[in-house]
Amino acid sequence: GESVGLHLPTLSVQEGDNSIINCAYSNSASDYFIWYKQESGKGPQFIIDIRSNMDKRQGQRVTVLLNKTVKHLSLQIAATQPGDSAVYFCAETLYNFNKFYFGSGTKLNVKP
Amino acid sequence: DVKVTQSSRYLVKRTGEKVFLECVQDMDHENMFWYRQDPGLGLRLIYFSYDVKMKEKGDIPEGYSVSREKKERFSLILESASTNQTSMYLCASSPGLQEDGYTFGSGTRLTVV
């Protein structure tokens, strides 16, 4: 499932602050999740992933949190930079299915 | 680096035209996908392919067809373009392993007038 809406949520943060982008997924059976970043004029790029047997995974400046109880995924970006301005999508899939379902995305604006 | 290349960045076509969107990947990936992306609706799967000459419908296949004659190339065809097919079209590929996710092309913005 995916979070579908008519409007693209927008998050505005000051450069240097931390950002938290949220995603609700609907299929409790989904067991693998990915966050993608899409810059203007480009295709989505892989940022970080997490399996359902984990609650938290950290990368470079990014952390993904998974709360299976409420079917919620979040992406935390530390010390947000202007280059982080983009649309961020979560994607979910079932094990061995290899077909992902995407959320509608959140636009992150980083103010200098 | 894996590259997924979409042949056109921008296209303008007339209603009723037959439109071909081409996608080529250079890493011998098994799986290829076509999505369309519309504001507020996210990415919606049109068609996908797990192998040469194999295709499966996604969530919104109506008005589209696909062709995969070679492993590296996956074409999306709009048999008779309509204005409601104006959108951003994204091609993606993956090697068939769940934990590799997708590699996307840069997209083709199609306008049907």
- Given CB atoms, is B84 within the 8 Å cutoff of chain A? no
CA–CA dist B76, B72 (Å, integer): 14
User: What pLDDT digit, counting tens, does each position of B3-27 carry?
Assistant: 999 989 999 999 999 999 999 999 8
DSSP 8-state assignment for residue A10:
E
Residue A3: which pLDDT band, with cuts at 50, 70 and 90? very low
Instruction: Output the pLDDT for position A39.
Output: 93
Closest residue by Cα to residue B3 from B91, B83, B99? B91
Q: Which residues contact A70 (CB under 8 A, 6 or more apart)?
A: none
Question: How many CB atoms within 10 Å of residue A6?
Answer: 8
A24: three-class secondary structure by DSSP: strand
| B107 with A46: Cβ contact below 8 A | no
pLDDT value, residue A94: 80
**Could you report the per-residue pLDDT of B26-45, keeping only the tens digit for each?**
989 999 999 999 987 889 99
Q: Could you tell me the pLDDT band of residue B1, with boundaries at 50, 70 and 90?
A: low
* Contacts B90 to A, Cβ<8 Å: 43-44
pLDDT at A4: 36
Distance of CA B5 to the CA centre of its chain: 11
A4 closest CB neighbour out of B42, B96, B105: B42
Distance, in angstroms, between B98 CA and closest chain A CA? 5
Going from the C-alpha of B7 to that of each of A19, B29, B30, B82, the distances in angstroms are: 35, 18, 20, 21
Query: Measured between CA atoms, how close is A6 to chain B, in angstroms?
Result: 5
Residue keyed to tokens 């209603």: B15
Tell me the chain B residues in contact with residue A2 when contact means C-beta distances shorter than 8 Å: 42
pLDDT of residue A8: 77
Over residues A16-32, the pLDDT tens digits come to 999 999 999 988 999 99
B108 and B10 in contact (C-beta within 8 Å)? yes
A98 has pLDDT over 80: no
Find the chain A residues whose C-beta atoms sit closer than 8 A to any C-beta of B: 2-8, 32, 34, 36, 41-46, 49, 51, 89, 91, 93, 95-105
Say if the Cβ atoms of B40 and A6 lie within 8 Å. yes
User: Which residue matches tokens 């983009």?
Assistant: A86
How close, in Å, is residue A107 to chain B by CA atoms? 11
Half-sphere exposure of B47 (CA within 13 A, CB side): 21
Report the alpha-carbon distance of residue A68 to residue A33 in Å, rounded. 11
For CA atoms B6, B9, B15, B18, the dihedral sign is negative
pLDDT digits (tens, 9 = 90+) for A47-76: 999 999 999 999 999 999 999 999 999 999
Asked if the model's pLDDT at residue A1 lies above 60, the reply is no
